[in-house]
A and B are shown apart, each in its own frame.
Chain A
């Protein structure tokens, strides 16, 4: 990968011929170190809460209560903390994995729901994005604009109306009540459109000239070329659907059908250790997905749009 480092060679150095190179170098090193430090510091800031969770999840309940004493009793004083607890324990993990059937049930609820949603989006959203990208038709711009505008509506606004529609379709209190609206979300359409858009038109034109049918073009040209972008969009979509909270709360009363995102708020801070543990496990899947698809994620959304 060729990278042009602006400061190394080229013009800038030439312009500074008059100054001492050593001072330059020191300046550069200082600058670099400062930047590096800043970036890593930021990174550790992102990492910090995870570390707190990890540490907290192996701290037993008694120690938590002691630490949180000032907070729970609302007195002055500080929450005690130590990165390594006095008596590390796996009790929270045990309790979560073995004695909380609700947790696993909700976990699999979430997994199931998200998988179905993603498949649905694949079947519905990707073709729609293709339609916007590969064809030109009247009202394309307005329709696309409408798609985007709908994204910006907060849930509370359409909550009641969606509820009424779902009720009339007899979908309330079922998983479909959350799945169906999510399948038709315009978020993936928007993201994948950008990937499709980056495909040079010539390829499409020549394929059409060659007599390939539209479906073939879609499956054999469009799809593979935009794969990175599609994957990236799905990772984002996964995240969004994995953490969906308002819809299940509003449309599903039966708690056994709830997704995992609704389990965590039910654990109060009095059970901080347990909450930390549950959070960690919830996170794991997201991180897993991140880890697997990191490359696509980074490049897909933006770079997938433009091929060199």
Chain B
């Protein structure tokens, strides 16, 4: 008990964030260009979307919450939301833990660092290239079936979900490993030594020293990975088109198809709902890992 506390407190002393003070209105000068542009190109459009969520598509008459009710009852949207949640729920943990484990392994065995060179390759591949190679590998007549001796069409049905998850992991694993690896290197070694000296086992050291110190990195990495789950839509769209198998029918597919059919009102309502959910998710994450705002007061001095 004692050692654990001292571990954490030592770490916290090192990592404490102080309350910043700035001078006058200087922040405006630095912030202004960005603020203007962001308002123009991001905030206004989103505001427009919010407005559209309360009106009908082409004629623009106000219709209250009709669109929201419509969207809530829409089977396609519900399916897509479910799928997206499932996708994120499967991918993120897999990615984060998997890459952390590999990064730990790399830490233990220094010569593995050289494998890192290839780890960044998937990030660089454009979506169309991924699709090209995927078709060669995953089609019914593809390589994977050749190796396994089966005739599964991976582009259909349940297998397509696996392919999509695989695509996501393949693309982001390498980079996430690199990030974790860099983060691991910043774990304060003195604290770790102190913990060892105090008699804490490997696992304990890991849980109580390493993990907390990775918090900031974890936040960044999680957010980046979440962002990248959306990017995987590109590959899914290029492979399976606008109407993929049910299992990989994601929110972006719904939005895209609604847009094509001029169902702008439903799309807007759906988007606002999604934004609310994502926003609250990000908010919670910030609370829990709460480094981002940097306003966390010191504790346990």
Q: Could you tell me if A283 and B102 are in contact, using CB atoms closer than 8 angstroms?
A: no
B22: chain A residues at CB < 8 Å are 134-137
Q: Could you tell me if A76 and B27 are in contact, using CB atoms closer than 8 angstroms?
A: no
Whole-angstrom CA separation of A262 from B259 in the bound complex: 21
Q: Could you tell me if B267 and A128 are in contact, using CB atoms closer than 8 angstroms?
A: no
A201: chain B residues at CB < 8 Å are 18, 20
Q: Could you tell me if A79 and B30 are in contact, using CB atoms closer than 8 angstroms?
A: no
A124-B34 contact in complex given A46-B121, A201-B18, A297-B178, C-beta closer than 8 Å: yes
A128-B33 contact in complex given A38-B105, A43-B115, C-beta closer than 8 Å: yes
Q: Pick the contact of A154: B27, B142, B233, B294 (CB < 8 A).
A: B233
B142: chain A residues at CB < 8 Å are 71, 78-79
Interface size class of A (residues with CB under 8 A): 35 or more
A6-B23 contact in complex given A141-B293, A305-B216, C-beta closer than 8 Å: no
- A170 interfacial by beta-carbon distance below 8 Å: no
Whole-angstrom CA separation of A240 from B220 in the bound complex: 17
Whole-angstrom CA separation of A236 from B145 in the bound complex: 35
Interface size class of B (residues with CB under 8 A): 35 or more
B26: chain A residues at CB < 8 Å are 135, 214
Interface of B is mostly: helix
Closest to B202 in A: A6
Q: Pick the contact of B105: A39, A44, A242 (CB < 8 A).
A: A39
A283-B129 contact in complex given A156-B256, A160-B264, C-beta closer than 8 Å: yes
A154-B139 contact in complex given A46-B170, A287-B121, C-beta closer than 8 Å: no
- B43 interfacial by beta-carbon distance below 8 Å: yes
Chain A 17-45 near chain B by CB (<8 Å), digits 1 or 0 = 00000000000000010011011101111
- B141 interfacial by beta-carbon distance below 8 Å: yes
Within 8 A of A (CB), among B26-46: 26-31, 33-35, 37-38, 40-46
- In the complex, 11 of the A-B residue pairs with CB atoms within 8 angstroms, ordered by the A residue number, are A79-B139, A128-B31, A145-B282, A152-B227, A158-B42, A158-B46, A158-B49, A184-B41, A279-B125, A298-B182, A301-B220
Q: Which 5 A-B pairs have the closest CB atoms?
A: A135-B22, A184-B37, A128-B34, A264-B128, A161-B45
